[in-house]
């Protein structure tokens, strides 16, 4: 029997979990393509942006994670196109023909047609963005400490987080915690507790996917941390001065964007049906219509549950899809028919500050310290690699006891030339 070639695009939860199923399986040769060299645990990315964890805590090289599978090759390459008819992937590192294709390239943040806002309001999807946000937040306090102009200082000490979903809530909560605990006593000219943090949400309540009770609870906890929650506030402009919402405006030196995501543009390159968020509308077995050999999973896939709602773009869904696709391929090689993908809804949660979280799973509704503890356990459990689990747990314990943040570093390019490709870090 000839070897089947599986090409996996993306080393995120879909790709990694699929490769883990296919690794060391007979008769298969697997190639994992990713433009970056690392898998990233996105649920904790906000903690890197808020100087609590370091990049290495929540990321690991894809090739290290897959090193034990002799039939799996990892290549760092940018995918430039997918030729569904010729069954090959075009990349910066040549063409890769496939018998099965698994596409899990994720999502990026989106400004809904106002992409020029990115300069002033970075989003949070990559380690590069997280360290940029960390630089900006920490630099704002440093600049406020040396600033002699009263208005400018106020602007420097005003932070706006746009978007009241879990990421926005977690960012605003971490900012509140940082300014109310970590940074107090460290400055002489400013009082970090006077920092204004404004969480702007376009809809009527934050955490809209949670119960109204949990939205209210989250709002109360945020307000205790000094965060002002502005709902029904639609952002109409962002620039170097701050944020405009219709006829209101906030002068803020630092604006963070957590308002929307859009699926990877790879879906558009495939020439298949997309939904409004750029996701590929897939069949019950996660394949592209007419192409049973092409799977799409994770944030890139538009997958309906039995009640008509979409599988949410969170880690558990991507993880389950990756495993499902891997098993489908293995079973099909053994001649078994395909069963449709079933999403096991484990619920959702969001954490706010030191000891608070809200958690909803099936009929279970939890908030407070117990929910926070569950949040910690679950996030440690889902982290990739034992090393990351141990180091994150240890970092959290230390920071929690000391009210500290372990990675308050501003690191900027400080030399004359650019690195290869004009890129630096």
The beta strand positions in 222-347, using DSSP E, are 227-230, 237-239, 242-245, 248-251, 254-257, 261-263, 280-281, 287-288, 291-296, 301-302
Considering 170, 177, 201, 360, which one is annotated as catalytic?
170
Q: Which x/- pattern over 203-232 shows residues binding a second copy (rule: CB under 8 A)?
A: ------------------------------
Whole-number Å distance between alpha carbons of 11 and 104: 8
54 near a second copy (CB under 8 A): yes
The gap from C-alpha 211 to its chain's centroid, in whole angstroms, comes to 23
Q: Tell the smallest beta-carbon distance from residue 263 to a second copy (Å).
A: 17
What is the DSSP annotation of 288-316? Answer: ETTEEEEEE-GGGEE-B-TTSPBPPSSHH
Tokens standing for 155?
């602007």
Among 3, 95, 142, 191, binds a second copy (CB under 8 A): 142
- Position 63 contacts a second copy (CB under 8 A): yes
Which of positions 171-190 make contact with a second copy (CB under 8 A)? 185-189
Q: Can 118 be counted among the known catalytic residues?
A: no
Q: What share of the chain is helix, strand, coil (3-state, %, to 5)?
A: 35, 25, 40
| Shortest Å distance, C-beta 190 to a second copy | 11
Q: Where are the beta strands (DSSP E) in 84-189?
A: 88-91, 94-97, 100-103, 107-109, 158-162
Residues 83-112 that bind a second copy (CB under 8 A): 92-94
Is residue 290 close enough to count as binding a second copy by CB under 8 A?
Answer: no
Quote the least distance from Cβ 423 to a second copy, whole Å.
4
Q: With respect to a second copy, which residue has the nearer C-beta, 94 or 289?
A: 94
Residue 138 beta carbon to a second copy: minimum distance, rounded to whole angstroms? 6
Q: Does 80 bind a second copy (CB under 8 A)?
A: no
Candidate list 21, 25, 393, 410; residue touching a second copy; CB under 8 A? 410
Residue in the block written with tokens 């230390």: 398
- Position 370 contacts a second copy (CB under 8 A): no
Residue 140, helix vs strand vs coil: helix
Of 6, 11, 38, 195, the residue at the interface with a second copy (CB under 8 A) is 38
């Amino acid at each position: 029997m000839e070897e089947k070639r599986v090409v996996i695009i993306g080393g995120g939860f879909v790709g990694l979990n699929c490769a883990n199923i296919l690794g060391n399986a007979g008769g298969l040769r697997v190639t994992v393509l990713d433009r970056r060299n690392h898998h990233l645990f996105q649920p904790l990315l906000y903690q890197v942006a808020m100087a609590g964890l370091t990049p290495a805590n929540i990321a690991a090289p894809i090739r290290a994670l897959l090193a034990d599978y002799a039939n799996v090759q990892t290549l760092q390459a940018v995918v430039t196109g997918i030729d569904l008819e010729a069954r090959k992937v075009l990349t910066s590192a040549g063409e890769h023909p496939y018998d099965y294709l698994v596409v899990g390239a994720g999502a990026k943040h989106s400004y809904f047609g106002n992409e020029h806002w990115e300069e002033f309001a970075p989003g949070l999807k990559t380690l590069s963005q997280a360290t940029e946000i960390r630089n900006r937040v920490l630099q704002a306090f440093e600049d406020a400490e040396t600033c002699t102009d009263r208005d400018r200082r106020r602007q420097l000490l005003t932070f706006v987080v746009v978007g009241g979903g879990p990421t926005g809530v977690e960012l605003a909560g971490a900012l509140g915690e940082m300014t109310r605990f970590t940074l107090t006593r460290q400055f002489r000219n400013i009082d970090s507790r006077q920092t204004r943090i404004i969480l702007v949400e376009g809809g009527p309540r934050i955490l809209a996917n949670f119960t109204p009770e949990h939205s209210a609870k989250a709002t109360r906890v945020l307000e205790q941390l000094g965060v002002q929650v502005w709902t029904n506030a639609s952002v109409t402009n962002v620039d170097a001065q701050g944020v405009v919402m219709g006829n209101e405006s906030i002068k803020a030196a630092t604006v963070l964007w957590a308002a929307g995501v859009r699926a990877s543009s790879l879906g558009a390159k495939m020439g298949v049906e997309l939904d409004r968020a750029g996701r590929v509308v897939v069949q019950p077995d996660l394949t592209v219509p007419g192409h049973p050999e092409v799977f799409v999973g994770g944030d890139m896939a538009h997958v309906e549950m039995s009640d008509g709602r979409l599988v949410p773009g969170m880690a558990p869904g991507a993880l389950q899809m990756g495993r499902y696709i891997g098993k489908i391929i293995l079973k099909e090689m053994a001649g078994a028919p395909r069963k449709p993908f079933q999403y096991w809804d484990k619920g959702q949660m969001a954490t706010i500050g030191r000891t608070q979280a809200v958690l909803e799973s099936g009929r279970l509704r939890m908030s407070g310290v117990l929910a926070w503890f569950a949040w910690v356990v679950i996030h440690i459990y889902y982290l990739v690699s034992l090393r990351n689990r141990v180091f994150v747990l240890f970092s959290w314990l230390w920071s929690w006891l000391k009210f500290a943040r372990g990675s308050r570093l501003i690191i900027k390019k400080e030399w004359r030339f650019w690195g290869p490709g004009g890129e630096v870090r």
